[in-house]
Amino acid sequence: MADDERYVNIPSFIFRDRSLAALEAIVVYLKDSQGLTYAQIARLLNRDDRTIWTTYTRAKKKGGTQ
């Protein structure tokens, strides 16, 4: 397995904040709690880093914090 490929356990409590979509909650958790970069999160979730940045920014504007 390459260094940028890894498994991350996502705790179910991050979905308690109903104001956030599932992807938003996951991205906020990985960025804020796990300290991953947008690029690392994008690779983990098989998404473009611009999508991750947009998702994170939108979640933060909604007040999403984990």
Share the mean pLDDT of the chain. Answer: 89
Contact 59, 20 (CB under 8 A): yes
Segment 37-43 mean pLDDT: 96
Q: Residue 57, Cβ neighbours under 10 Å: how many?
A: 12
Q: What is the pLDDT of residue 2?
A: 55
Tell me the residue type at 51: T
- For the cut 60, the answer to whether the pLDDT of residue 49 exceeds it is yes
Percent of the chain with pLDDT over 90: 76
Q: What is the pLDDT of residue 1?
A: 41
Question: 64: pLDDT confidence band, cut at 50, 70 and 90?
Answer: low
Q: Would you list the domain boundaries of the chain?
A: 19-61
Q: What is the pLDDT of residue 32?
A: 96
